[in-house]
Each structure stands twice: as C-alpha cells, then as structure tokens.
C-alpha cells in the first residue's frame, strides 16, 4: 500500500512539474508555432489522375498513394477500431489525455506494458506540422498545437484529418488508400477482421506490414479486436466471428478501369511540360476523350491481331527450358506439388505482360497441352488453342526433345474467347487509333502490344512508310487537276532509266501480284491498288505539284519527296497524321487536329486549360468538298470490290477505306471510316523487316480494323454522305470510261466536277 502511495506522490509531482514546465516554455515556443487555420481547408498531396470521357480511371501518377475519404463515408466500425486502439478517450479530452498519460505512466513503472500517451489530436499535430525528432521542445509544441487544434476544429474534422494523413506503409497515406493497397478494396468493403488489421498499423507500419510480417500483423490485429471488445465497441459474438474471418490480402498495383497506358503517358508528358513536378501532388483530374467501350474494343482487336499473326508463322525456340527429368517416372509426372513449387521459382525470371502469362509445358500430346503458369495455376490447352503447334513444321518426326515446342519449354499462355491458347511474346508490333472525323476527338488509342514491354508509341512517335495507303492523296491531287474517276490509265509495265531519273539505277516497279490489266479506270486502279496506275497518274500531274498538294493534309513536306516513288508511298508519315488526313475525306474537306484531353479539373473543382490545348473551332476547309465526296465514293469501292473486300462482313454501305502495304511487306496498314467514326491500324516491326509471305495490309492490318469497327459501329445507323453542289453524276461505259445514256443498263454512274464534265464525250488515257 505504501508503494502505491509513494507512486501516486511521484506521479503527481511529475505531472505538476510537467504542467509548470509547459507554462514556462509557453512564452518561448508559442510565437514560433505554425498557424493551424489552413487545416480547415485540408488538401492532401493527391496524385494526377487520368480518366476516360465517362470517368473510368486509366492511371494515377504520384509518389504517395492517397484516396481521400470524407468522415461521413468512413464505416463506424473502422472509426471504433481506431478509437479503441489509438485513443479511446478521444471524444472526452481536449487534445491532451491526462488520464491516459497517468495510466500509461503507471503501467510502465509497474512493468505491466509500455503504452503510448499520444492522442489522435497530437498525432495530427505531429503529422501536419512537426518533425519526428524526440526533443522536449517538439513534444511541448505538439501539446500546444493539439490544444489549439481542439479549439479550432470539431472532433469529426480532427478524425477526418487523421484518417487521411496517417502513414500506413507501402507508400499509402490514409485508411482508404491502405484498404486498396493491402486488400484491393475500398474501406467500406472490408470485414471486421480486415479493419482491425488496418487499425493496428499506425503504431509501427513497417513492423506490422502483413506482406512482410504476416504473423506479427495478425498478432497485432487480435490485440485490436480484444481492445474493441474490452471497451464495448463490439460484442462477444462479433469478436468471435472476426477472429475466424478470412484476411484476403491482395496487393493492388493500381485499380484501373480501362487499359490505356499510352494515352496516360501522353497526358502526363503534356502536363509535366507545362506545370512541372507539381502535377504529381496537386490532385489534378484529367478527363480524356477516350471512350471506355471503344478503348476496350481496340485493346482486344490489337491483341487478337498479334496472336493470329504469331499463329500463322513458325514458332521460335522456347524462351527457356525447365528440366522435368527429376519429376518424371515411366513417362508420368510424380510429386506434382513439388514440381509446381520449382516451376514457380524457375518462372520468376520470365515476365507476364497483361494476360500473356509465362508457363512451362508439363505434358504435350497431339490434342492437348498441360502447363503450369507463373502464378501457380495448372491449365490445359485443347485443339483450338494449339495453332502454334500446327505451324511447328519440319519437326513432326523429330524426337520430342528436339522439337521447338516440347515438354519443359517456356511459352506464354493467354485466353481467347474463354479458351486457353499457347503463344509466344511477340516481337512484332501493332497499333490502332480511332477518332471522330468531324471533331478530331480521339476515342481509342493503342500505341503498341504492351506499354510495359515497349513504351514507344507507334501512333504518335513512329515515322513509317505508308506504302499504298498513300495513293488516295495522289488521286485527290489528280482530281483537282481535272482527272476524273473515269479517266483511263495504262496499267502496264513501267520502266525508267537511271539517266531519266538522274539516279544510279534503273527503276522498274511492279504491281503487287505482278499482273497487269492495260487501260484501267482511275477508280478501279485505286480499289485494286494498282501501282502502275498510281505511278502514271503521278507522272501526269507531276511530283512537285503532288508534293505541294498533299502537304495541305498535314504531312511534313520534308518527308514527302517529289519523286515518282511517292505514288508507292515512299515517304515517311506518323499514323496520327495519316488518320487526320483521311478524316478530311470523311468530313467534307476539313483538317481536324487529333486531340485527347477533354478537360482538366484542379483540386478546387475548377477547370483549367493547357497553353497547348487544341481547339478545332473554325477549322479551314483544305480541299474542295466535291473532291472529298468523289474520293469517299472511290474509297467505298475499295471495300465493295477491291483489296478490302473482307470488310464487307460488317454489312454496311457507308464505310470506306484503303489498305496499305510497303515494299517487301515491311509495313501493313488499313484505314477506314464512316461519316462519324474513323480508325487506322498499323502492323510491323520496330526494326524494319519483312512481315512474311502474303502479310499485306488486307491480311495483317484489316482484320484488326474489322474486329474493332464491328463493336464501335454496332447499333449505329448507316449515314449517307450528302452530295455537294457542283457535282454531276452520269453513267459511263465501264470499259472505256466514256459517257453513256443514263438509261443504259450496262452503264455505271460516275461523278464529275461541273467544270470537268466531258461535254463532247471526249476522253483521254494517261500513258
């Protein structure tokens, strides 16, 4: 009893001395304390967020993971867990819990436990205004600031600050952010056990990090639950249930609704160039022009196009070989669990990209593959997913261990239409961009196979040869010079000497299929992509005129050489410029600059503008609307009965487009549109090389466009391209292009400029 009395005297003396000391230092420290009035307008460091047009999250950029939550939206059970653990007299004290200090001192001296005496308010003061230095001055400052905060803010406001500012490990600040970090959930989706685990983190985030120290984290979580029960925040049945509740740890890399990383990087770069480092902490929200459904369609179309290309060609060697011999006896796998563990360890050095997951083939049969994936799943691949094996030509009769696809081989696996397929990481690349031709608003953009594998944006950064996809701009120039779609052009061998070209070599270009049809109407020459027709047309209008004319479409003149080879697309263009150029034919003659930022909202919900913002208001018309109309009608024929016939599967009459293939099948293109939507696809290697036999624009690029447009135009009515004034439609003889009676059943309608209408039915042929 005497020891207790002695303890009370000592404790009281300590407290009184402390109060005296605080009062003495008050006059010295108060003048240096920071103002606290900005706490009522708390703005945490929030990351830059990028969204689709509909508000689906694309990406976040920031050093700290934060997800601000209003106190009204915090589950009461989460608040109770924090109060029970950190400051159970929070709603009773004025910032300093003298009862708590006394209790902590008592227990410490008796060796019962070592409790802290910092209140939630004191932690707020420390986190917002002070360092973590353990000095008397810092502690007194903390106490004084806590008293001021309690005068200035309500308990709910203080709790909200604490809930959002406290550091909880894994670069996460605040409980809502931590819920996402550790469980990939929002705070209101957690069960009692998970909330208790989070409530135990503030004491020592690193020590109780469940990813690193699971057993310690669970021990701490049970202490929190016991405290909640002891102080009446939960009842006995809830406590018992919580002890058995599942803790579903799931590290969140970042919850995003739509995969558009190339777009996110474009946005980040634009904002960084204008605002600098502060974009990562100022809470800007960027709403792009990307439409969620369109972007998902584009991602899938590009992915499937690449898979189909891989499956058309002979496979490469396996990325690695796992030695299975220690796990096979009498041609059967033994000790499957041990095998799985070893395979998972082995596969750590192989990367997964999106849903392309590395795996080891453990069983190879004619109609089935069994494999263990990097994530530990065992999967089976059946007939439809074995196309890669069907192309393993020349190895069928070899022993299993000498085949390219063999047991123990590391390949990648993915799902297509809910069935597993075996494939390989592509070396080839593909890209797609889609936009509204009337506004320039980009609705989908895929810059390559996978941003994490290759961050080079093939839509905005790559200069590639356009090949035959460039021909419409030559024909547009010719139409402006009086050539008509009915004009005959000689589709025959073409030869120019080195002297004529002022070159070192003669030039003898050929049609793709090496077939020639003699006199051919310009319209047919475009639909069948006849090289000889394009070359002779360019020769007729002269390359220098064509160079000057096509630059109005936004192409860089320096990369458009004024030579006859321009007719074959021997130039350099960026896909983003090429799609805006084709949009001119879709929208009646206007050059619309593609843009992808719809609006930017700051942390005060105010809209801000970039200096580099694109506005397509009052865009000048760059070509005659009649030219755009005639070119559109010719490009429709490319789909109707030309090189893009397979697009007829869409069963629409309002689509037009052009295939493109460069020399030696290095680049494959397709661009197509209707009056409301245009999309362009490209296919090729970063280091130019042939795509392989028959890999033309119609085979490699067009199917990707079809897969995308099938969804993008689904449910949208067909649109008629209005005929502009100054056009004369008249029937012609389809053989020689001469006018015939409009009553002639064998004739076909053609369009002419008023001023170039052949009054005397005279026609000429370009030789």
Active site (annotated) includes residue 86: yes
> What tokens were used for 168?
């909880």
Burial class (CB in 10 A: 0-12, 13-18, 19+), 72: exposed
Q: Using alpha carbons, select from 191, 192, 169 the residue that is nearest to residue 182.
A: 169
**What residues contact 308, with CB distance under 8 A and at least 6 apart?**
703
> What tokens were used for 44?
């945490």
CA dist 433 and 575 (Å) reads 8
Instruction: Assign 303 to helix, strand or coil.
Output: helix
Specify whether the CB–CB gap between 535 and 475 falls below 8 A.
Answer: no
The per-residue b/e assignment along 165-196, b for 16 or more CB within 10 angstroms, e otherwise, is bbbbbbebbbbbbbbbbbbbbebeebbbbbbb
> What tokens were used for 633?
């009608």
Write down the catalytic residue from 172, 281, 468, 698. 468
Q: Please provide residue 228's backbone torsions phi and psi, each rounded to the nearest 5 degrees.
A: -65, -40
Residue 184's region, left for phi above 0, alpha for psi from -120 to 50, else beta, is left
Q: Helix 543-550 to helix 531-541 angle, to the nearest 10 degrees?
A: 90
Active site (annotated) includes residue 468: yes
Burial class (CB in 10 A: 0-12, 13-18, 19+), 244: exposed
* Start-to-end CA span in the chain (Å): 121
CA dist 767 and 272 (Å) reads 55
CA dist 603 and 205 (Å) reads 28
Q: Using alpha carbons, select from 638, 674, 675 the residue that is nearest to residue 523.
A: 638
Burial class (CB in 10 A: 0-12, 13-18, 19+), 203: middle
The number of C-alpha atoms within 13 Å of 135 and in the hemisphere containing its C-beta is 7
Q: Using alpha carbons, select from 705, 730, 731, 753 the residue that is nearest to residue 298.
A: 705
CA dist 470 and 507 (Å) reads 20
CA dist 463 and 707 (Å) reads 25
Write down the catalytic residue from 46, 60, 86, 194. 86
Cβ contacts of 401-404, under 8 Å, gap ≥ 24: 404/314, 404/315, 404/316, 404/317, 404/318
3-state class percentages of the chain: helix first, strand second, coil last, to nearest 5 = 45, 15, 40
CA dist 300 and 712 (Å) reads 12
CA dist 717 and 720 (Å) reads 10
Instruction: Assign 596 to helix, strand or coil.
Output: coil
CA dist 276 and 268 (Å) reads 10
**What residues contact 228, with CB distance under 8 A and at least 6 apart?**
80, 81, 84, 85, 196, 234, 239
Specify whether the CB–CB gap between 432 and 585 falls below 8 A.
Answer: no
Report DSSP state, residue 575: H
- Tell me the DSSP string of 598-650: EEEE-TTS-EE--TT----TTPPB-S-HHHHHHHHHHHHHHHHHSTTGGGGGG
In residues, how long is the chain? 767
For the annotated catalytic residues, the residue numbers are 86, 468
């Amino acid at each position: 009893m005497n020891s207790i009395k002695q303890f009370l005297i000592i404790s009281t003396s300590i407290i009184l001395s402390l109060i005296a000391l605080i009062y003495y230092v008050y006059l010295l420290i108060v003048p240096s304390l920071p103002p606290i009035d900005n706490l009522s307008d708390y703005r945490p460091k929030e990351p830059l967020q990028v969204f689709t047009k509909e508000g689906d999250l694309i990406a976040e950029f920031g050093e700290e993971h934060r997800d601000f939550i209003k106190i009204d939206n915090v589950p009461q059970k989460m608040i109770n867990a924090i109060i029970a653990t950190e400051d159970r007299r929070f709603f009773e004290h004025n910032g300093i819990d003298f009862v708590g200090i006394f209790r902590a001192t008592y227990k410490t001296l008796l060796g019962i436990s070592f409790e802290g005496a910092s209140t939630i308010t004191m932690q707020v003061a420390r986190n917002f205004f002070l360092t973590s230095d353990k000095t008397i001055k810092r502690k007194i400052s903390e106490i004084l600031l806590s008293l001021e905060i309690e005068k200035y803010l309500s308990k709910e406001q203080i709790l909200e600050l604490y809930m959002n500012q406290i550091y909880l490990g894994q670069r996460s600040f605040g409980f809502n952010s931590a819920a996402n970090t550790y469980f990939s959930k929002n705070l209101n989706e957690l069960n009692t056990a998970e909330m208790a685990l989070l409530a135990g983190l503030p004491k020592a985030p690193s020590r109780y990090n469940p990813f690193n120290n699971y057993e310690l984290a669970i021990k701490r979580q049970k202490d929190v639950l016991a405290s909640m029960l002891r102080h009446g925040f939960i009842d006995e049945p809830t406590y018992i249930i919580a002890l058995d509740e599942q803790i579903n740890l799931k590290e969140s890399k970042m919850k995003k609704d739509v995969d558009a990383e190339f777009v996110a990087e474009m946005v980040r770069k634009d904002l960084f160039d204008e605002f600098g480092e502060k974009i990562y902490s100022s809470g800007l929200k960027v709403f792009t022009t990307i439409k969620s459904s369109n972007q998902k369609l584009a991602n899938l179309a590009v992915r499937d196009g690449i898979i189909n290309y891989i499956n058309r060609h002979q496979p490469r060697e396996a990325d690695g070989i796992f030695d299975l011999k220690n796990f096979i006896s009498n041609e059967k796998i033994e000790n499957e669990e041990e095998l799985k563990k070893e395979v998972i360890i082995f596969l750590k050095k192989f990367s997964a990209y999106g849903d392309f997951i590395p795996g080891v083939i453990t069983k190879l049969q004619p109609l089935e593959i069994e494999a263990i994936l990097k994530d530990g799943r065992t999967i089976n691949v059946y007939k439809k997913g074995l196309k890669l094996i069907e192309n393993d030509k020349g190895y069928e009769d070899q022993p299993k261990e000498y085949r390219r696809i063999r047991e123990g081989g590391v390949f990648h696996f993915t799902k297509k239409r809910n069935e597993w397929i075996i494939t390989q990481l592509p070396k080839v690349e593909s890209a797609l961009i889609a936009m509204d031709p009337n506004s320039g608003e980009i609705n989908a953009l895929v810059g390559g196979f996978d941003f994490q594998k290759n961050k080079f944006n093939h839509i905005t950064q790559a200069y590639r040869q356009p090949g035959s996809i460039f021909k419409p701009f030559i024909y547009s120039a010719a139409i402006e010079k009086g050539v008509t779609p009915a004009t005959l052009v000689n589709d025959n061998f073409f030869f120019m000497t080195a002297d004529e070209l002022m070159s070192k070599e003669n030039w003898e270009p050929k049609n793709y299929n090496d077939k020639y049809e003699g006199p051919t109407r310009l319209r047919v020459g475009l639909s069948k992509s006849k090289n000889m027709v394009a070359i002779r047309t360019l020769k007729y209008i002269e390359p220098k005129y064509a160079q000057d004319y096509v630059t109005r479409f936004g192409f860089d003149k320096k990369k458009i050489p004024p030579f006859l080879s321009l007719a074959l697309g021997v130039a350099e263009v960026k896909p983003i410029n090429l799609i805006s150029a084709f949009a001119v034919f879709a929208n009646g003659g206007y050059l619309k600059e593609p843009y992808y930022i719809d609006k930017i909202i700051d942390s005060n919900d105010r809209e801000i503008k970039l200096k580099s913002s694109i506005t397509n208001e009052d865009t000048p018309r760059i070509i005659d609307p009649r030219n755009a109309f005639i070119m559109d009608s010719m490009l429709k024929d490319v789909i109707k009965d030309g090189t893009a016939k397979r697009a007829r599967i869409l069963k629409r009459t309002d689509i037009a487009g052009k295939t493109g293939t460069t020399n030696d099948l290095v680049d494959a293109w397709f661009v197509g549109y209707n009056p409301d939507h245009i999309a362009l696809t490209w296919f090729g290697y970063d280091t130019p090389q042939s795509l392989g036999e028959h890999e033309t624009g119609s085979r490699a690029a067009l199917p990707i466009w079809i897969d995308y447009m099938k969804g993008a135009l689904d449910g949208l009515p067909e649109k008629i391209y209005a005929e502009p004034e100054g056009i004369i439609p008249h029937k012609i003889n389809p053989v020689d292009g001469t006018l015939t009676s409009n009553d002639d059943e064998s004739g076909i309608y053609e369009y002419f400029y008023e001023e170039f209408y052949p009054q005397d039915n005279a026609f000429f042929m370009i030789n």
